[in-house]
Structure 1
Amino acid sequence: MKVERKADHAVSDASCKSATGKTLAEWFKALDKHGGVALGRRTLTHWLMDDEKVEPWWSTTIVCEFEIARGDLARDGKPKGYSICATKSIKASAKDCYAAFTSPKALDAWFGPKHDVDLRDGGHWRNADGNRATIKKVNAGKNIRLIAEDQGLTLPTPVEIKFDGKGDKCTVMASIERLQTRAEADGYRRAWGEALGRLKTHVEGS
């Protein structure tokens, strides 16, 4: 899975003002006045979208950049960063969707080339596109938790792949947290969205 680390829009005072009517710095002051980081990401984001009518991409960006500017950290003392999610509904069982992740041959067919994967707790996931991960936990047919360690990532990044199956239909969801820049967030959102599209084609065509 190749990842282009590029934001959908430039993140700057000028671009923010053009899109939202205020610069990032002006929004940061407004967020401080509204209650600041103590209110939490969800509350601040919804305030921007619902009350201030800021579109979702910019609402998320403003709040995440605000947290960074104010030094707001997660409980483990590390930066929270951006979170993204990619989903795809597939006409196949959760078992068949999960099977597409279980071997180098299966992953080579849709995720990327030349895989070396050991899908077990403590195992690894590597390929020729530069994707690198340590497998943390595997629940067959249900979810895979890993830490992405791709070259170019600011920090090792938690990823969870979930398989929500009902009969011959399954929703596959990839959730990624702790992405430290908007470029990383948008790049991995696009890459995983495209990868799950290839997964759907592969599984439904098999």
Structure 2
Amino acid sequence: MRAATGRGHEEWRDLLDAAGAREWSHRAIADWLVAEHGVEPWWSQGITVDFEQARKGRLPGQQADGTFAVSMTRTVPGERLVALAAVRAVVEARHGAAHGENLVAVQPVVRWRLADGTRLAAAAQQPGRSGTPVNLTIEKLADAAAMEAAKAELAAILAEAAG
């Protein structure tokens, strides 16, 4: 973090404390870091999450809205759309048709709204020699206790899709 931003974890935490960020929203903190300190947006998110975990009691996996999310990536054979189609077939067999997709994006993605109120997304990354890394994310989990079952679900989907 220091090499990329010029400050370490504790220095950012102290700076944000001094600025009154314990009372700010996640977005306000991240935006302030970009605007006032020239932090790249990706790093501003990491600094914000670290601050929220250290100073505001945010738990690992907990999102700014209080829900939880888990993600997992595995290489699936084939080019991007082939690998994504393999994952999609497994997810649709378990959860039904997708509610959205963008197959022409730099990182093609397919999304589902699941019956329990959670959301699942599959995104195909840049292919490598052995296939395409596909990232699955489940969001809107009610609590930390739901994370283990969600991780097991993601692992099972990716294992089946990878063959």
Q: TM-score w.r.t. structure 1 length?
A: 0.46
User: In the superposition, relative to structure 1, how do residues 60 and 170 fare at CA in structure 2: closer, same or farther (>3 Å)?
Assistant: farther
Matched, 1:147 2:108: no
* Residue among 90, 93, 106 paired with 2:79: 93
Task: Give 1:173 shift.
Answer: 0.6
Give the 3-state SS of the residue equivalent to 1:61 in structure 2: coil
SS at the partner of 1:89? strand
User: Which amino acid counterpart does residue 89 of structure 1 have in structure 2?
Assistant: T
Task: Judge conservation of contact 1:134–1:148 (CA < 8 Å) in 2.
Answer: no
Aligned-CA RMSD value: 3.7
Q: Which runs of 5+ in 2 are unaligned?
A: 1-16, 27-44
Q: Matched residues in 1 for 2:100 and 2:142: separation?
A: 23
Structure 1 residue runs without a partner (length 5+): 1-31, 53-58, 68-73, 112-124, 151-155
- Structure number with the bigger relative contact order (C-alpha 8 A, sep ≥ 6) is 1
Q: Secondary structure at the match of 1:87?
A: strand
C-alpha change, 1:136 and 1:80, in structure 2 (3 Å) is: farther
CA distance in 2, matches of 1:92, 1:62: 33
SS at match of 1:196: helix
Number of residue equivalences: 123
Whether the aligned pair in 1 keeps the contact of 2:71 and 2:135 (CA below 8 Å) is yes
| Larger relative helix fraction | 2
**For the residues of structure 2 that align with 1:133 and 1:196, how far apart are their CA atoms?**
17
TM-score of the superposed pair, with normalisation by structure 2: 0.55
Q: Which amino acid aligns with 1:95?
A: L
Contact 1:44 1:63 in 2 (8 A): no
Shift of 1:91: 4.1
State the 1:191 CA deviation: 1.9
Structure 1 counterpart of 2:122: 161
Per the alignment, residue 46 of structure 1 pairs with: 50
Alignment of 1:62-81 (within 5 A): 64=62, 80-81=66-67
| Distance in 2 (alpha carbons) for counterparts of 1:93 and 1:62 | 33
Calculate percent identity across the aligned residue pairs.
14
User: CA offsets per residue over residues 126-158 of structure 1, 9 Å max, x none?
Assistant: 54xxxx3562212348211110114xxxxx112
CA distance in 1, matches of 2:79, 2:73: 15
Deviation at 1:162, TM superposition (A): 0.6
Kindly indicate whether the alpha-carbon contact (under 8 Å) linking 1:98 and 1:163 is maintained by their aligned counterparts in 2. yes
* Equivalent in the alignment of 1:61: 59
> What aligned pairs does 1:26-45 form with structure 2 within 5 A after superposition?
35-36=21-22, 38-40=24-26, 43=47, 45=49
The corresponding residue for 1:174 is 136
Secondary structure of 1:145's aligned partner:
strand
Task: Specify whether residues 170 and 60 from structure 1 end up closer, same or farther in structure 2 by C-alpha distance, changes over 3 A only.
Answer: farther
